[in-house]
Amino acid sequence: KPFKRILMTGAAGGLGKVLRDRIKPWADVVRLSDIADMGEARPGEELVRCDLSDKAAVMALMEGVDAVLHFGGISTEAPFEAIMQANILGVANLYEAAYKHGVKRLMFASSNHAIGYYKTTDMLDANMPTRPDSMYGISKVFGEQMSRYYYDRFGIETVCIRIGSSFPQPANKRMMSTYLSYDDLTELLRCSLFAPRVGHTIVFGMSDNDSVWWDNRYAAHLGYRPKDSSAKFAHLFPDSSEFPAKDDVTTIYQGGKFLLDGPMFK
C-alpha cells in the first residue's frame, strides 16, 4: 500500500465514520483518533483517544505517521474558548508534531465558513481574501495560515479543503450549491494525498453542482474530477422563490445559518 501509516483525526465524527473504511486501501495501518469513543479497532486500525489541545498527547499521536487527514475539532459555531482549544491550539499542536516527526503531507479540513461573508451572488477563487463568518470560520482561516507557514518554512505540504456541505444529501436550497458527496470527498482526499506535488493548496470541496459560488482553477494540479452533483436532489426543493431572498442573511451570504450565530445578528 502507498503509505505505511495514515493518521485520521476526528474519526468519531460524521465524516470520520464515513471515511473510516474508505481510506483503508491507502495505508497498511490507519491510526484513528478522537476525543470521543471510536468503538472497537477493526483489522488494520489503531485507535488513539486524544484531545488535540494536549500538546504532549498530539506529539505522541504523530509517532510513525506518514500522512495526516485532519478532521478533528469543533465543527460549528461555539464559544471562542472552546474553538481556541480544539481548533487553534489543536492545529498548532498538530503542525508542530508533524514537523518534529517528519510528516511530509497533510490534508486540513477547512470550511466554506472561512469565506462565509461573501455573497451567494459572488464567484470566488482560492486567491481571494478570506471573509470568515464566525469564530469557527476564523479558526479555519487560522488553520489555513498555519499550514501555509509550515509549507513556506519547512516544505511540509498541505491541501486545505474548504468543505462545503458533506452530508448524505443537501438539507436546503443553499446546499444545492455547497453539496459535496461522500464519494467526491473520498476522491478529493485521494487526490490530496497522491497528487505528485501540492505545495500549499486551497481547494473548494464541492461536487459537480449546477449552481456554484467557487472556482477551483488554482487547484487543477490535484486532478480532482467530481462525479456527483446535487442536481439529482433538485426535486427536494421545488420552491421556486427567489434565491437569495431579500432581507434573509442566511441566503444573501454564503455562510448560511452561521450568519445568525455571531454577535451581529443576536
Which residues contribute to the site for ligand NAI (CB under 6 A)?
A: 10, 12-16, 34-36, 51-53, 71-75, 86, 90, 109, 111, 163, 165-167
Residue 146 interacts with, from ligand NAI, ligand 15L, none (CB under 5-8 Å by kind): none
List, in order, residues 6 or more apart from 199 with CB less than 8 Å away: 151, 157
Does 178 help bind ligand 15L (rule: CB under 6 A)? Answer: yes
Would you say 228 and 254 are in contact if contact means Cβ atoms under 8 Å apart?
no
Phi, psi (5° rounding) for residue 87?
-100, -30
Does 113 help bind ligand 15L (rule: CB under 6 A)? Answer: yes
Marked catalytic residue, from 95, 136, 179, 253: 136
Does 31 help bind ligand 15L (rule: CB under 6 A)? Answer: no
Contact track, ligand 15L, 69-108, x by CB under 6 A: ------xx--------------------------------
List % helix, strand, coil for the chain (3-state, nearest 5): 40, 20, 40
> Does the active-site annotation cover 151?
no
Residue 12 interacts with, from ligand NAI, ligand 15L, none (CB under 5-8 Å by kind): ligand NAI
d(CA 195, CA 210): 26
CB closer to ligand 15L, 26 vs 72: 72
Does 181 help bind ligand 15L (rule: CB under 6 A)? Answer: no
Grid cell locating 112: 466554506
Would you say 113 and 134 are in contact if contact means Cβ atoms under 8 Å apart?
yes
Phi, psi (5° rounding) for residue 51?
-90, 120
Phi, psi (5° rounding) for residue 185?
-60, -45
The nearest distance, CB 165 to ligand 15L, in angstroms, is 3
Residues taking part in catalysis: 136
